[in-house]
Structure 1
Amino acid sequence: MSDAQRTTAQPEKREQFSGQLGFILSAIGSAVGLGNIWRFPGVAYENGGGAFLVPYLVALLTAGIPILFLDYAIGHRFRGSAPLAFRRVKRWLEGLGWFQVMICFVIAVYYAVIIAWALSFFVYSFDLSWGDDTAAFFTGSYLQLADVGGADPWFTLDFVSAVLIPLVLVWAAVIVVLAAGVAKGVEKVNFLFIPLLFLAFGALVVRSLTLPGAVDGLNALFTPDWGAIADPAVWIAAYGQIFFSLSIAFGIMITYASYRKRRANLTSPGLVVAFANSGFEIFAGIGVFAALGFLANQQAVAIAELEGISGPILAFVTFPAIVSEMPAGPLFGALFFGSLVMAGFTSLISILQVVSASFQEKFGWTRTRAAVGIGLVAAVISVVGFSTTTGLIALDTVDNWANNIGIVASAVATTVAVGWVLRRSGEMRFHLNSVSTLQVGRWWSFCIIVLGPVVLTYMLVSRIVSLIQDGYEGYAETYLGVAGWGTVVLLVVGAAVLTLMRWRVEPDKFDAWPTYGGKS
């Protein structure tokens, strides 16, 4: 085929969700992930307990929902994944779209590993394989951790079979779902997993609430420290939690919105997704802290004396210890780790759909080719980089830079470009109001143009300064330079290369609908 012929080649007809329910469940499946279960409870506890809900709600209303709506407007109006949609907003914005694609790719290669851990522990739950010392089991027997300081060796090819085998299974399942498409793959997985997730975690919460010491755990979580509200760090934590948990500003919701029909309500489903995500976080906090209260009761210590109340340590060290102490522990463990697998898998699918759709649109790939090609490359990197004895430290470091630098920088760039430089917020607001039953007012434009960029820029700058001055987790500076800042360089260089590559389809023959008359 000649270059001229390739330029006019067309990708498969654009897919669509079967209806509003399929979109809502898929968007919830993306938003509700591992962080809802293991991050929110710890963040709330450490930032004022019940008082944290005040800045959390403010952050949801002033940053989370407005930026979610902005993603919806861009994707739905310009009918593409992040690179195509941003290019149609303004040609030079394509690079921002590819930056978001690179973020998704990097996150996917390590996020799949955590799902593999959860899958392993789901199996271990049935006979409590982790024994009495859950910390030693997780880092020693299971991960066979070789380096806890980021020093020599930085990287090994000593593969851990207990991680490698479930990781291969996860990637095989991902490729099958992506190849099946939006309606037959992504949507059907979410139709199955999201109700199951809520049922399984609901049963887990109910069981936790009946355990001795559960009330002490809830008191620890929800007793308000009103003085914390005066601390700017608490507000930044609230905005960070909302921001990272809603799957906004790195291409997912832009891509999902592009699969909706032309006349599709955006704002009301957006509120359902946002409040379902936050509701699940609070629900998870109840279950987690009720269980922590039980563990503290069994060990005759205060909640504050427990180690590991957030993150992977909560999930893979503290919770196995809880399971070992409680009646019917294997069932409780299966429910918890099964919930982690389902929450993680639906999020992983959404992350990779961004990458797959972008390659289909720019290079004219078929859905199957994109799923297999991208899936295999990501799987190889995932296996080589994160299923070895140095995988945990690499995962922790890359995750910190991809999220706290990459995603926040992407959000700042999006709001500044659309709201300040191009002054297109009025057009986006017009689009939302044209297709939606719930209208958005000028408050939305204020959040996008002023409040969002200011808060996010402060978050980004303060995090960069902290990482430069204080490092991260005591890891060696040279290691952080390679694995941490090297991740940021990879995001930028990858975005630049993909932007410069030639489109195999015509991206610019497009008229946005409905026609915008220039009035906000």
Structure 2
Amino acid sequence: METRSQWGTRAGFILAAIGSAVGLGNIWRFPAVAYENGGGAFFIPYLFALLTAGIPILIMEFTMGHKYRGSGPLTYKKMNKKTEFIGWWAVFVAFIISTYYSVIIAWAISYAIFSVNLSWGSDTEGFLFKDYLNNTVDAGQIGSMVPGVLLPLIAVWAIVLFILYRGVKKGIEIANRIFIPLLAFIFLIIVVRAITLPGALEGLQAFFQPDFSSILSGEVWVAAYGQIFFSLSIAFAIMITYSSYLPEKSDITNNAFITGFGNSSFELLAGIGVFSVLGFMATQSGVAVDEVVSDGVGLAFVVFPAIINEFPGLNGLFGFLFFASLVLAGVTSLLSLTETYVAGLSDKFKISRGKSVLFGGGLAAIVSLLYATQGGLYFLDTVDYFINQFGVALLGLVEVILVAWILRLVKNLRDHADAISDIKLGWWFPLSINVITPVVLGYMLYDLFRLNMMKLFDTPTGNYSGYPDAFILYAGWFVAAGALVIGLLLSIPKWRSVSEASHSSAKKEAK
């Protein structure tokens, strides 16, 4: 008898999966990655990576969650009792990311308010780091709390934990049914306005101009696979958890294709919007587009405010819409990240959903306060780099090798997906999971460790100029390694019940 919480509709699941995949990185990372790796030509390796890594791993994780009916830890335990720790490792990686991801959403809330009267002034860089973040301490020092970050951070967690407390169908599904269409609508307005700006065509030409010689470079292909891997929310136990709430009859393969192409479509839309605006800025400044290209925090909170200052008419409204889109994209992703450990705690310790939200989400909210301090930016920058580059990439490689080479479950998972899906999986699925993805991820990790461990950059601390070695050690390497260690520790306690432990929350939702 099915007692696990379930999605109300198929559309609810797809919107939630797309909401998890579409996040801040789609808006501020993808456009720069594409531009720096061949422009229009980058879409060739990008599409190849989507079809040989992104969608196959989505299908694999959707099938794992649907077949074994559990959160990440419970799914891995059902696959093999000795592999439960990998599920907890994935859950704790998601936990770490959620602690600082929430803070960036808080910044976006503040900037949505600032945009109304352009409170950031003309020196947008100085405003961000000095006036808003009050980043006046050295790396490794915490300093005092920053009220301007703390208050919206509290609001972020209040919204997210309330939605999660409401459950899968009445909370996460309803939220994504509202947030994702709203995000698409707002961002479409942004893009339409952006492409009508003076200089927009120059920006789009720079973005789409193909450099076909670049696709002969291995680094470009690694960048394509890296973008697909990090943007689809795979290897966080998110998609395993979400698919565990699917009903028995669910089109796994079709859902994966819709999610994968939905995420990539938004990335393309973001690229058009961002480079139209960058083309406008270049025209206004009288410089080439490549001189204004940026990504990450700098693009969103320094470059864009500077561009908004120069907007012809209704610049405050445009700014508000842009930062509102960051908030919506961030919240839907934060919901999925937090749900991984809420579900894991509920499954393992057979506690109510309310308690798992309070313990798991409450602890994440408390930890996130570290990033709302004067020295929070240094911690955020370092933890984000190490947990994403080493925690996620290594976790993904371990996951694929375990499923494909050790447990040899690829055929089993393919048969399960084929039995309930309209699109049947052919030879490309086992080839992707058994060969292509492990090879690419292995090379990515080798390259990352080579650059970081051997310190090939000529700076006092290797890759991190100005950051003390001790700080990089405990805020970077220790955090990345700690996710694995805590995963091992959480797998030690016995399960209070090997059956689906979330039946109490399912009954609550059914009332």
Q: What TM-score do the two structures reach when normalised by structure 1?
A: 0.93
Q: Which amino acid aligns with 1:473?
A: Y
Q: Which amino acid aligns with 1:498?
A: L
Name the counterpart of 1:516.
none
What is the DSSP-based 3-state SS (H/G/I as helix, E as strand, rest coil) of the residue aligned with 1:282? helix
Farther-moved stretch of structure 1 (401-410 vs 467-476): 467-476
Report the CA distance between 1:473 and its aligned residue: 3.1
Contact 1:145 1:390 in 2 (8 A): yes
Q: Deviations over 1:308-365 (max 9, x none)?
A: 5211100000000111100210110011000000000000000010100000000011
- Aligned runs of 1:355-374 on 2, under 5 Å? 355-374=341-360
Name the counterpart of 1:130.
120
Q: Which residue of the other structure, out of 192, 204, 225, is the alignment partner of 2:211?
A: 225
Report the CA distance between 1:469 and its aligned residue: 2.0
Provide the C-alpha distance between the structure 2 equivalents of 1:186 and 1:122, rounded to a whole number of angstroms. 24
What is the DSSP-based 3-state SS (H/G/I as helix, E as strand, rest coil) of the residue aligned with 2:491? helix
Name the counterpart of 2:464.
473
Is 1:85 the counterpart of 2:70 in the alignment?
Answer: no
Is 1:463 the counterpart of 2:453 in the alignment?
Answer: no
Name the counterpart of 2:334.
348
Q: Which amino acid aligns with 2:130?
A: G
What is the DSSP-based 3-state SS (H/G/I as helix, E as strand, rest coil) of the residue aligned with 2:250? coil
Q: Which residue of the other structure, out of 155, 169, 180, is the alignment partner of 1:169?
A: 155
Report the CA distance between 1:155 and its aligned residue: 2.4
Q: Which residue of the other structure, out of 386, 391, 405, is the alignment partner of 1:401?
A: 386
Is 1:438 the counterpart of 2:423 in the alignment?
Answer: yes
Provide the C-alpha distance between the structure 2 equivalents of 1:27 and 1:39, rounded to a whole number of angstroms. 20
Provide the C-alpha distance between the structure 1 equivalents of 2:454 and 2:35, rounded to a whole number of angstroms. 27
Q: Which amino acid aligns with 2:249?
A: R
Provide the C-alpha distance between the structure 1 equivalents of 2:500 and 2:28, rounded to a whole number of angstroms. 43
Is 1:146 the counterpart of 2:129 in the alignment?
Answer: no
Provide the C-alpha distance between the structure 2 equivalents of 1:174 and 1:482, rounded to a whole number of angstroms. 29
- Aligned runs of 1:296-307 on 2, under 5 Å? 296-306=282-292
Contact 2:347 2:500 in 1 (8 A): no
Provide the C-alpha distance between the structure 1 equivalents of 2:386 and 2:91, rounded to a whole number of angstroms. 15
Report the CA distance between 1:508 and its aligned residue: 9.4
Name the counterpart of 1:63.
53
Structure 1 pair 469–476 and aligned structure 2 pair: CA distance change class (3 A): farther
Provide the C-alpha distance between the structure 2 equivalents of 1:477 and 1:442, rounded to a whole number of angstroms. 47
Name the counterpart of 2:412.
427
Q: Which amino acid aligns with 2:489?
A: V
Q: Which amino acid aligns with 2:86?
A: L
Name the counterpart of 2:20.
30
Is 1:20 the counterpart of 2:10 in the alignment?
Answer: yes
Q: Deviations over 1:82-111 (max 9, x none)?
A: 100011111111010000001010000000
Structure 1 pair 147–199 and aligned structure 2 pair: CA distance change class (3 A): same
Contact 2:4 2:500 in 1 (8 A): no
Contact 1:88 1:508 in 2 (8 A): no
Farther-moved stretch of structure 1 (59-68 vs 461-470): 461-470
Provide the C-alpha distance between the structure 2 equivalents of 1:275 and 1:492, rounded to a whole number of angstroms. 31
Is 1:392 the counterpart of 2:377 in the alignment?
Answer: yes
Q: What TM-score do the two structures reach when normalised by structure 2?
A: 0.95
Provide the C-alpha distance between the structure 1 equivalents of 2:328 and 2:164, rounded to a whole number of angstroms. 16
- Aligned runs of 1:200-349 on 2, under 5 Å? 200-306=186-292, 309-326=294-311, 327-349=313-335
Paired residue total: 492
Identity of paired residues, percent? 46
Is 1:159 the counterpart of 2:150 in the alignment?
Answer: no
Report the CA distance between 1:476 and its aligned residue: 2.3
- RMSD over aligned Cα, in angstroms? 1.3
What is the DSSP-based 3-state SS (H/G/I as helix, E as strand, rest coil) of the residue aligned with 1:500? coil
Is 1:46 the counterpart of 2:12 in the alignment?
Answer: no
Contact 2:3 2:500 in 1 (8 A): no
Structure 1 pair 128–508 and aligned structure 2 pair: CA distance change class (3 A): closer
Name the counterpart of 1:186.
172
Q: Deviations over 1:110-162 (max 9, x none)?
A: 000000000000000100000001011111101111246x3xxx121411111
Contact 1:147 1:393 in 2 (8 A): no
Contact 2:71 2:344 in 1 (8 A): yes
Gaps of 5+ in 2: 456-461, 502-511
Contact 2:46 2:224 in 1 (8 A): yes
Report the CA distance between 1:507 and its aligned residue: 4.7
Q: Which amino acid aligns with 2:295?
A: S
Is 1:493 the counterpart of 2:457 in the alignment?
Answer: no
Contact 1:82 1:358 in 2 (8 A): yes
